[in-house]
Structure formats: structure tokens, C-alpha cells
Structure 1
Amino acid sequence: MDAGWADPRLRALEQLLALPAAELRPTLDTAGQLISELLRAEKVDVFLIEHSTQTLVAVGTSQTPLAHLQKSLGLDRMPLANGGRAVQVYETETPFISGRLEEDPDELPGIKHRLGVRSSLMVPLPIGMETRGVLAVSSPRNDFFTEHDLSFLQAVARWVGMVAHRVELGQELTKLAVKQARRKAAEELITVLAHDMANHLLPLQARIQLIQRRAARNNAQEDVRDAAGAAASLRSLTRLINDLLDVGRLDQGLFSLRPQPVDLSGLVRELATTASTAEHPVRFEGPEELVTVADPDRVRQVLENLVANALKHSPQGRSVDLALRTQPRPEGPWVQVSVSDQGPGIPAELVPTLFERFTRAPGSTGLGLGLYLARRLAEAHGGTLEVAATSQAGTRFELSLPLVAG
């Protein structure tokens, strides 16, 4: 190829960068066609690795007869296990050039004999920060390409990689935008439903209380038990609706705390006593008194959520331990409340998303709002809520709050 091709090559590179960041396959097909016309090649392939099958797949190809023949023969997919020059270039990240491919013992017979490729250029294809495939140019004529063509193709591969990366980023951003829009719509719908449902709770609670009193007055024990069950279910529903409303208030910036002096030791000790049962004792360890400024109802809400989760995942007869201690920090003293269970631990793949809304552990019920809301409440106090440890021996959550003098 002579120097007269310099301007067409520059224009082709400009065309490559001007390709729209739409779908990957048509974009790479267009790139393959541009390169084919530029190098007068009978076939250009943009191979990308398909990790699930460990196969190089011609995601983009030139619109040429040789490319159509390749696809009809199934040679647009090259398993790494089968070897061949394209696989070698991908695995070694070393460019390849040949003008006598029919004499090459390392090339696949299908490429040499069924496709009749004689001259070949192949270079690694970088996308992002890694080699993700191979850019291959072929001709059925011997000694058709030059070392200059190979150098140019290496430059083109970087540009094609940039185009592919841009397309992938665009697709990811589109998916993320759609996901966020759907999630926002769902959250708004849930908040509206929670408001509507909350309007029915008070009259329903009043009805159940009337039934309880009537059943007690008539000594109707079965009705007493049924009414008590209905009241317990209503309390669970009320907590769920309140969680949904709290999430909505947090998102809308309407949430506010009511800080006041509170004895955390007394609060945590009372919670341990209330939650403790014969099957699951809840133990408390901490100072006799520790006063700070916080919203006692919201701190109790956080701890009740953590204790309820710990009890749910603890084997029968094993205790849940609450520990309260102070922590000196450079910015001043903090107080830490830890909640430890002896359950099976949290699956490692779940830990990174544990505090996201609607995240639930396997086998759990509910909407998966408890830990999300608990962390947001901790953050509203200027504190933190973290999983300090989790293993087959149990899990420990730590709530840390600034120690504020009353």
C-alpha cells in the first residue's frame, strides 16, 4: 500500500470515532466494513471474547462475500480450546501477519482450506483496560498485506476499542437510567399505597380492640385468642407501613429527629429484657448509666431491628448479646452498641448490598427495608451502622453514635 492512502486512512479513522454509541453489533459491523474498504480486504472481523463459553465471537464483520461464507460455515465462532492464529493472538497479545497462510501448520484447516484465506493480519483488541478480543483482516490472495498495514491495523484496533468501549458505557448508562426510573416509580407508588393504608389502620385497630373487650367480657376464649392474633398481625402491618413512610420522608427530606437526653444503658438494658425469651436469651453488657443526646424512639427502632434479625437467625438456645461501650476518637468520644448472634452468618455475596433497600437474605420475609432504614437513622444522628463481622459462628452489627453531653 502506497503513501497515497494516508488521507483516506485518516478519514476512515475519523469516521470510526464518529460512529454513534448505539448497539454494539451494528457499530462493529460498520467499523469492519470501513476497515475492509480501506485495506481492500475481502473480510474483516472484530472478535470479542465470550467468557461464558470461552469463545472468540465475530461480533462485527464486514459485509463481504467471504464474511458471509465464514458465517455459513460456523467459523465466526472460535473456541479457545481449538487453537488457531486468532486464539494465539488473543492469548499472547502479539500481532500476527502472514502472506502464505496455507503453509502455516498453526492455523485452523477451516480457515485455510474451506475459506481459502491466504493473507492475514491479526492484532489484539483493547477495550477499556484489558484485551477483549482480536481485530482480524483477511484476503484470499497471497502476500497481499505489508508490515505497514500491520502497524496501521494496530492503531485502528485502539480506535475500534475506544468506539466499542463508548458503546458499552452508553448501554450501561441507559440500563442504569431505566432501572433508576423504574425504581423511583415503584418507590413513589409504594409510598402512596402506604399513606392510603395508614388511613385505615386506626379504625381497624379500634374494631379489634372492641372485639377483644367483647370476647373477654363474654369469656369466649377462642375469640380472645383470635382477636389477639389479629392484633399482633395489625402491629406487624403497622410497623411495615411506618417503615415505608419513614423511607419516603427520608427520600423527600421531610424526616426529622427529636433529640433529647437519653440513658442509652437503660434503653438497651430494657430492650434486652423485653426481647429475651426462654428459647433465645438476650444478654446485656455495659455501664450502669450512659447519657447522650439522641432521639430515643429512633435509636430504639434501629436496635429493635438489629435484635429482631439476630433472634430470627439464632439457633434455639443460643443467646443474642448486646454490648455498650464508649470509644475515644480524635474528634471526641463516641458510643458503640454491638448486637451479636450465633447464627450461620451472612452470605458473602450479600454483604455489599446488605444496607440497600429491598435487599433480603435467602429465606427472609418482608420488603427488605429494615437495615436500609436502620443505617439511614444512624446517619441522621451523625453516626454509622456496619457489619463488623460475619462468619459461620455468627454476625455482629455495630451502631456507633457521637457521645453528646446533655
Structure 2
Amino acid sequence: MPRASDSAFSDDTFAHISALITRGEPLAATLDLIMRRTCDLLEVQRAALFLIEEPGPNLQLIAASRGLPEAPVLRPPGIGVEGWVMRRGRPIVVVNPAADPRFTPLPDWDDTLPPEAISVVAAVPVRSRSRLVGVLSVADAPHTHQETPSGHPLSNASITDLLPFLAVLADLVGLALENSDILHHQDRRTQLIRLLHTIAAIPLSESTEDLAHTITDQISTIMPADLASILLHSPATDELIAFGGSETPLGLLQRERGLDHIPLATSGPLLQVFQHGTPLRLSSADELAALPLLQVIGIQSMLIVPLRNEQVSIGLLMLAATRASAFSDDDMSFLTFISVRLGYALHHDTLSDELAAAEQARIRQEERDNFLSIIAHDLKNALTAIAGSSHLALRKAARGDVTYSQKALPVVVTKAAQALQLVNDMLDINRVDAGQFRLFMAPVELVTLLQEEVEGAQGLSTQHSVVLETTLEAVEVAADAHRLRQVLTNLLTNAIRYAPEGCRITVGLSIRAAQAVAAAGQQAAEQIPEVLITVSDQGMGIAPHDVPHIFERFYRGRGEYVASGSGLGLYIAAEIITQHGGRIWAESNPGAGACFSMTLPVRRSSPASQ
């Protein structure tokens, strides 16, 4: 299992884990780090995370402080302290677990903590999106060498005292799971848009079979399916005929068994969807009993959505998988959306402006629906880091160590500022949507403003060099100084957050001529100068597939360089610059840093030096 780097973060565990979650690091790596840090911070010998195995009801060991055993570890419902916590939804501490019937030991796969040596077990529930999804448990043996500052071995009672602390770590697990879902949803939306563009770009001259092959191949790369098939109705034979089944083992088997021609009258659920136009999800062998021919080739779950043209059923779009409960509600929504466009494309009809507008409206509605959940997730991320750092500071202070408070307070201040920024971003978005986002324009001297912002950014980090490079002594623009500072703060904070230590961050300022549009009756356009402001770093850069999207509302890239927080900062920055009459864009080469550029019109009476 890959491990997220945790060097130099021993005293800033919660801030570090919070940053990993925000960056969208691989889920397995983040959970692995949380398990190891749980052992370090609570001074216990083992931490283990159980999550509900899809489709349930068992719990499966997903992460552990010393790695996972080769064979999967499953907990049937109600077994062990983990099962007890899942049933009741509350924490538990078991002292002398060998004598407690609620305790079922884990396999000792690494020979570090045999079951008979365990003296205490504690477990807390893990929740994601307010739903109970798993259990975080710790186990410990009598401490023979590890002592507290008072000189006494760590007592079992200390574990009970640390239950709130363990709950904070469980909250971090829940946040990591939520963020993984958010990123998955973002990927799905991006894939949906690409697939819609692919369908729209298919030449009208392409045959139905070639078109179907193109679509099913695209869907197979996006959806968790072993088979994607377009079934068109043949009125002559009253059959559903498979066109362009995906080139997968299951797709080949479908054709080998002659299951690419299915009599409609005996097709059970397929007939139901075709006649009534209601999508259907089948998640188990029992639900597929009416389709024995498809069960023969190992299908355990299906998604079926209608293909219609002007309210007339013309066929079905079907996904199948060889595992039970393979498809989610999100998959159903995704496939239904695709089927609307595909129904028109199969009959070579161009989508009307109304349909295209409806698609865009649906995407915008989806963004709005996710807005509060994204904001809530990021607020919980910041507040959990605050709670964790505070708990740890209090614990160390109770044991005589007050030095950690000096390290915890900056984390608390930083995370509180992030929470406040999220609230401000939310208010700004509401103003944009309501048409009430206003600028208060006044003459602004840019060289002074940029120098102040550079000095402020340098104060945020002693590990980076932040400099202003310009040959100008003064240049004046008409701007809202507060909003302009907001843009610069966002760009500089991102650069500091994601650039490696020792990296140079450069703010540039220059004047260049911009060609204005000629007014009616004029012979030539007037040359109006504009200022160019750049913020560049020498970090890892932005992934090429992220660059076109980073100014989109709610877009959250991942990895080394991402839009911070809710994914609103750069969107708001673009709105601010656009309302100033300027432009903003980003350029990046992976491994060579990123450069954000923006332009603003220069005041005609500007005292800019040449």
C-alpha cells in the first residue's frame, strides 16, 4: 500500500492529514497514515479500520497501522467489538478483552500483538455524510517500557479518557471517505460532458452499428460494467438486437451464446423498461431470475434505461456486471442522462437549443445541489483539524508538556481562517448568482499594492522566497483594491501551499499594449495599454487535464496543485478580474511550475513610468 509522506509533520498531524484530504491524495494512502498516526498519538500498539463491505452486511478490514494481511479479514454482523459499535452506533472500551464475550481477536499477521497479550480495546463509529459506515478500533498490551512523564505506565483508564480524541481521528477517516466521493463525482461529471461531446461529434454519415460501438466503448471506460450494450427494437421480428456491444470478455460471450438477439415478449425486465420508459436497476441473482439466459453467462447486476425518440421507445441502453450490486443511484442518473442524448443521435437528429439548454440547466442544478455538501465537508475538515490539535494540546498539557500548545495554536489559527474563507466564498457565490456582486472602483496604485501583498505572503512562510519583479515605479488602475487583494491572496496562498520548500514565488508587473475594438466609423482601433500581473512558482505544476477547468465553479483538481477549499477561490478570482474588464488564465508544464496571469486596463491618466 502506498504511503503518504509524513516526514516533518510529527507535531502537525491533524493539519497534515487535513491537507492530504484537501489535495485528494489516494484514499488508501491517507487511511494508512491515519492508522499509523493513531498509534503514535494514542501510544497504542495497533489501530484498525473496518468499513462496510459493499453490498454488505459484513465489515471488512480496510486499513491497519502495520499493514494488511494477505487474506481479507471480514467481520460478520454483530461479531466483535466492531460489530457491537455498528449495532449501537456508540463507542466502547473493553478492559481485559480475553474475558469479554464481545471481543473477537484479529489475526496476528505481523506477530506484534498476539490476542492473549491484549489488555484493552477501544472502538468508535466512523460516519460519512451522516451515515454509519464503519469502525475505528485500537488495541494495546501492558506497557513494560513506555512510560508517561510522571514515570507510571500508561493505564487502561487513559484509553477511556482518549475516546474523544479517537473520535476526532474517526472524523478524519469520514472526511477522507467523503472527499473521495466528491472527487469521484467530479470525475464522473467531467466524463459525462466528454461523452456528450463525443456523441454530438459523431458524423451523421456513420452507420448505426459503428456509432453504437463508439458509444459502448466510451461507456465501458467510464462505468463499473463488464458489458455495455445498445439494444434496438426490430419491429419486423419483435426482438431487441444488440448493436455495438463492448469488446469485453462478457460482451464476446454474449455474442457467442447468441444473446445479441432477445425476443422482446419474453425479456421480462427489458420488456418492462421498453414499454413503460422507467429505468430499472437489478442488483442480485434473485432480481435477475426473469432473465435466465443472461444469468447463464454470469451476470449478477444490470442497469437498464430506455432509448426514446420523440417519446417513442426505440430500444434500451443496458449495462451488466458479474458482481452483485455493482451499480449505484449515481450510475443510474448518469446512464439516464446519456440515453436522452443517445436516443436523438441514433436517429441522426440534431438536439434542439431547448434540449441543450436543459442539459446545461441540469448540470447547474447538480452543482447547486452539491454546493452545501461541499462547503459542509470543507468546514468539517477545518474544524476537525482544530479539534484534533486542541485535544492533543490539552492531553499533553495534562501530562506536563505545555510546549505543544505553541505548535497547536498556529494550526488552530490557520484552520479557523480557512473556515472563515469558506463562509466568505459562499457569500460571494450567492452575490454572483443574485447579480449583486459589486465592485467599488477607485484609483489604485499597483506597485505599492503588490509590494504589500508580497510582504504579507512572505510572512506566511519562511520556507519560500516571495519576490516582486518590475521595472515600474508606479502604475495606476481603476480597481476595487479589496477585491484585487482577494485575487492576489488566493493565488499567492495556493503557490505557497503547493510549492516545495525552498521554491521561489515571483510576482511580475509590466505594461503592454492591447488592441481595443474600433468604434463605429473609426479608421483604426485605439491602442489602450493594460497591465499584466503574473504569479509564478517553481513547483510541480498543474496537471494538463486540470488546466482548462481550474477557473470553473466548484472544480477541485487533485495532487500537487489544486484549487483550495471548496473549489470556489479561482472561480471568484476570475469573476473579479472579468468585472474589472480584464482577463485571467493559467499556464503550466508538469514539473516546471505554474504561472497565473491577469490583465487590467490602465487609467488614461496613469503616472506609469516608462
Normalising by structure 2, what TM-score? 0.37
The residue type paired with residue 212 of structure 2 is I
Q: Provide the rounded CA distance (Å) in 1 between the counterparts of 2:467 and 2:544.
A: 27
Question: 1:243 offset after TM fit, Å?
Answer: 1.4
The residue type paired with residue 281 of structure 1 is S
8 Å CA contact 1:262, 1:292 repeated in 2:
yes
Q: Provide the rounded CA distance (Å) in 2 between the counterparts of 1:389 and 1:240.
A: 26
SS state at 2:502 partner: coil
Q: Provide the rounded CA distance (Å) in 1 between the counterparts of 2:446 and 2:468.
A: 12
* Residue number in structure 2 paired with 1:182: 366
- Aligned pairs (5 A) from 1:174-323: 175-187=359-371, 229-276=411-458, 277-286=461-470, 287-323=472-508
SS state at 2:597 partner: strand
The residue type paired with residue 496 of structure 2 is L
Q: Provide the rounded CA distance (Å) in 2 between the counterparts of 1:250 and 1:162.
A: 36
Compared CA separation, residues 280 and 76, structure 1 to 2 (3 A): farther
Question: 1:349 offset after TM fit, Å?
Answer: 1.2
Select the residue among 355, 358, 361 that pairs with 2:551.
Answer: 355
Q: Provide the rounded CA distance (Å) in 2 between the counterparts of 1:75 and 1:190.
A: 43
* Residue number in structure 1 paired with 2:584: 385
More helix by share: 1
Question: 1:255 offset after TM fit, Å?
Answer: 1.5
8 Å CA contact 1:46, 1:60 repeated in 2:
no
Q: Provide the rounded CA distance (Å) in 2 between the counterparts of 1:345 and 1:189.
A: 28
Compared CA separation, residues 320 and 266, structure 1 to 2 (3 A): same
Q: Provide the rounded CA distance (Å) in 1 between the counterparts of 2:439 and 2:240.
A: 68
Select the residue among 538, 548, 556 that pairs with 1:342.
Answer: 538
8 Å CA contact 2:367, 2:554 repeated in 1:
no
Select the residue among 310, 323, 348 that pairs with 1:165.
Answer: 348
Compared CA separation, residues 230 and 391, structure 1 to 2 (3 A): closer
Give a deviation string over 1:347-394, Cα, whole Å, max 9, x none. 111122110011112134511111101110001111111114444211
Give a deviation string over 1:215-260, Cα, whole Å, max 9, x none. xxxxx87767655543433222212211111121122111111222
- Aligned pairs (5 A) from 1:82-121: none
* Residue number in structure 2 paired with 1:372: 571
- Aligned pairs (5 A) from 1:1-40: none
* Residue number in structure 1 paired with 2:317: none
* Residue number in structure 2 paired with 1:333: 529
Q: Provide the rounded CA distance (Å) in 2 between the counterparts of 1:299 and 1:385.
A: 12
* Aligned residues with identical type, % of pairs: 28
SS state at 1:293 partner: strand
The residue type paired with residue 601 of structure 2 is P
Compared CA separation, residues 381 and 182, structure 1 to 2 (3 A): same
Question: 1:173 offset after TM fit, Å?
Answer: 6.1
SS state at 1:165 partner: coil
Q: Provide the rounded CA distance (Å) in 2 between the counterparts of 1:299 and 1:240.
A: 18
Compared CA separation, residues 175 and 268, structure 1 to 2 (3 A): same
* Residue number in structure 1 paired with 2:213: 50
The residue type paired with residue 346 of structure 1 is I
The residue type paired with residue 326 of structure 1 is I
8 Å CA contact 1:58, 1:76 repeated in 2:
no
8 Å CA contact 1:264, 1:292 repeated in 2:
yes
Question: 1:177 offset after TM fit, Å?
Answer: 3.6
Q: Provide the rounded CA distance (Å) in 2 between the counterparts of 1:174 and 1:398.
A: 34
Q: Provide the rounded CA distance (Å) in 1 between the counterparts of 2:407 and 2:501.
A: 25
SS state at 2:451 partner: helix
Q: Provide the rounded CA distance (Å) in 2 between the counterparts of 1:302 and 1:294.
A: 12
8 Å CA contact 2:544, 2:588 repeated in 1:
no
Q: Provide the rounded CA distance (Å) in 2 between the counterparts of 1:224 and 1:389.
A: 38
8 Å CA contact 1:280, 1:318 repeated in 2:
yes
Compared CA separation, residues 74 and 309, structure 1 to 2 (3 A): same
8 Å CA contact 1:190, 1:244 repeated in 2:
no
Gaps of 5+ in 1: 1-44, 78-159, 198-219
Compared CA separation, residues 230 and 343, structure 1 to 2 (3 A): closer
Compared CA separation, residues 245 and 49, structure 1 to 2 (3 A): same
8 Å CA contact 1:46, 1:58 repeated in 2:
no
Question: 1:336 offset after TM fit, Å?
Answer: 0.9
8 Å CA contact 1:353, 1:359 repeated in 2:
yes
Question: 1:162 offset after TM fit, Å?
Answer: 6.8
Gaps of 5+ in 2: 1-206, 219-226, 243-254, 263-342, 380-401, 517-527
Compared CA separation, residues 306 and 181, structure 1 to 2 (3 A): same
Compared CA separation, residues 73 and 370, structure 1 to 2 (3 A): same
Give a deviation string over 1:142-175, Cα, whole Å, max 9, x none. xxxxxxxxxxxxxxxxxx9876233977987655
Q: Provide the rounded CA distance (Å) in 1 between the counterparts of 2:433 and 2:411.
A: 34
